Structure 1
Amino acid sequence: MTKTNPGRFFEDYAVGEIIAHAVPRTIKMGERALYHALYHARHALHSADTFAQSCGLPFSPLDDLVTFHTVFGKSVPDISLNAIANLGYAEGRWITPLWPGDTITATSEVIGLKQNSNGQSGVVWVRTTGRNQHGEVQLTFVRWVMVRKRGDGAAPAMVVPELADSVAAADLVIPHGLDFSNYDFALAGEPHRLSDYAVGEIIDHVDGVTIEEAEHMLAARLWQNTAKVHFDATLRPDGKRLIYGGHVISLARALSFNGLANAQMIVALNGGAHANPCFAGDTIRAWSEVLDIAETDAPGVGAIRLRLVATKGDVGPVRDADAKYLPNILLDLDYWALMPV
């Protein structure tokens, strides 16, 4: 009797199946230190208890993408161990902040399946949910991933889920007590408030980061992401290890501080795509487009909807005349963040 787990292949999924992911994870301040070391993240609300307390919170929550990476990582052994690529996201909502000492568990529901035309792989859609030790939902999101088939046998029946284009502003969850009435712009790093931004505005975040193999490997291990394509160079014809897409998300988010320092908390992930593979040696730059602005019921707190693009080039076109992503585009992400009005 074999003791090892080869991972699931496309034929192993069934729509409606609920998968409980193994290994709970207790998150403490070490994760914050490593996150900030990997991504030069410096949004004030996630950096200082005193700043968070001045904004009505008991202390500083961990970066919202720490929640994302941890929940995502829990799902990898069951969803994308045999993945070719993670393709996209939708309907993501941060419900409860991640506080130091919280223990995260995760489950996924299979909501869609579609075999690719080559007959060698298929796309699996799942809705993954992370909860804390109290059973409270911290994060829920849909993602779809291309997974290898085990063989040439029959594929599961095709089901393609209908997904919302975006999370409505009215459905954004504001952390309890959050209050930007006395927001300290000097400590936050920039003077720009929500009213200083206009829909359609493009913000070039100026700086760039060259991806290092060692940093990517450390990140994948930190989030317990075991997807084979990130570790085993023999799985690709080009002999390269694929950079974890979430690594690119966090790098681009950190770069966006320059111009969006006051976009403090991510509260929704409307959609996103890893447009092209990323490898060690690639230099990432980022720019954002303001898509929408909304009010919230929390004092002094508004919401800004942003399109974050990570590219190996400069600000410019994202797609070609056939609506295909240009080869320099790595990430196209649509999200809501909270900002002082």
Structure 2
Amino acid sequence: MKTVKVGLREKSYDILIGYPLDEIGGILKKHTKGIKSLIVTNPTVAGYYLETVERSLQKAGFQVFVAQVPDGEEHKSQAEASKLYAKCLEYRLERESIIVGLGGGVIGDLAGYVAATFMRGLPIVQVPTTLVAQVDSSVGGKVAVNLPEGKNLVGSFYQPFLVYIDLAVLKTLPVEEIEVGMAEVIKYGIILDKKFLEYLEKKIEKLRELDMQVLERVVARCCQLKAGVVKKDEREKGLRAILNFGHTLGHALEALTDYKKYKHGEAVAIGMVGACRIAEKMNMFKKEARDRVEHLIEKAGLPARIGAELSVDSIVQVLSLDKKVRAGRVRFVLPERMGKVVVRNDVPEDIVRDVVTGLME
């Protein structure tokens, strides 16, 4: 078991890694005066873990309510948020009541968004049940819902009260869900930690097999790396933008396919390959390094190419709607070397088109 601290002065919190779900109630009771709790989850996760979490909270003295959101990225929406507000009112939640986000990134984002906005803020406890959520989306306080025009366009920065990670829950995931989480794991090595990337190159098979010793080390290191960035730049004014490596193109692919063809990690993997190729064409990144990234992504079981059903024009058009656009210029996070990236807003459109075309071949 490990604890990673996210140091944000009065908004600081702990990430508990390797703690069993059946102990969550007792741990929460030590940190809060609240009596009521609302577990937000989906039917898939509920079938495995709802009873365990519910029983633990009840045993610790919490009054427990449950709201289930349908599975799928398309339900990370204003419509579902409104239904959750209605539940909060129905159960008469108060400012000290706790919302527990039990699930993957969709549940974490949606539950966090509702917690941030209902009564101007209730404590949110993130209990991530996917690898993507454990290493990335549950940490750092970004909460949001999607609009039809794009991903995460309505949201806030709202830090959790606690992040509680039981690594054993990953054993119930299909292997492709583990592979999807690898994209965010690999991202941290490329943008921040060359030695961590080298460790991943050696241990990627063990990670895919969910070797618990490797998994705990990897999840803890990812959380440490992200916590370090968030501490320096909580609201993405500068440094935190590097965490969007692979996400500019990735989000465009998700939006263009209505969040149905690509899982988030798959889209990010393709986006990382695209960013490395853009950097190579701009003479920033060596071909050998780009090949190394692509090899690791493929070894992790992730895609490195775009399906032929999309057009270059449609991808370029959606890129211009990205949240990270400044003064009409698309901002890309591009690698200079392993462990070092920069944010650039001067990428020529012809290079973007050339790279996207190459990713379709």
TM range (shorter): under 0.3
- The structure that is helix-richer by fraction is 2
Q: TM-score, normalised by structure 1?
A: 0.26
Bigger relative contact order, structure 1 or 2 (CA pairs below 8 A, ≥6 apart): 1
- Give the structure with the larger strand fraction: 1
